[in-house]
Amino acid sequence: MTFRDGLDSLLRPEDSVLVLIDHQPFQLSNLNSHDPQVVVNNTTALAKAAKVFGVPTILTSVIEGRGGLIFKHVTDVFPDQKVIDRTFINTWEDKAVVDAVTATGRKQLIIAGLWTEVCVAMPAIQAAGEGWDVTVITDASGGTSVEAHAVAIQRMIGAGINMMTWLALAAEWQRDWARVDTAGPLTQILIDHAGGSGIAYMWEQQLLNTPVSGEQPTGA
């Protein structure tokens, strides 16, 4: 196996392209590996992070007339973007999707979707075999069972695919808090979607703005 290590292996926003696959009501209705609300939250956070960092994002559904529209939480992040609706179960066999990804000129392919064992594993494994540097965001994906999700992850790791969570990806894209143009918007995503981490950040801000007993507030 080729090890994915070294600075160059880390994900960079200027080299990344995100594909969100089949985040639809039908798939969500039989999501059993995660709390459905958590997956909706994490997928929304991932979409928002991609937008903050200027990462091209392709939205795709499968037979939306029966499976339902992509979650509004996600499409609201990209209100002017047309969702690519497919018949192929394997997204990477759909020419429109592959052409859209290829047109970005980027090689760090990031995938999240429902279900992990089907709609994520197939395109991830095919794309990796075709030379793409593939990362799967596991907590913005989910399977029909805990076992199905876990086995799919094991299968993809065996194919040389990188696994991350949305928050780890966002931190890797940020890399340096001195990048102030993205630091502020990213912090808002943490507040809105990162649960305890967002609460901890707000607490930190409270402490920094609360005078120690006996001291006068700044500007007093």
**Nearest-angstrom CA–CA distance, 130 and 175:** 28
- Total residues found in the chain within this entry: 220
- List Cβ neighbours of 63 (8 Å cut-off, separation of 6 or more): 85, 86, 87
| Contacts of 186-190 spanning 24+ positions with Cβ under 8 A | 186/49, 186/52, 189/45, 189/48, 189/49, 189/52
Q: Residue 19 is which amino acid?
A: V
* Annotated active-site residue in 40, 45, 119, 128: 119
Catalytic status, residue 119: yes
Q: Cβ(34)–Cβ(139) under 8 Å?
A: yes
Q: Cβ(72)–Cβ(34) under 8 Å?
A: no
**What are the residue numbers of the active site?**
119
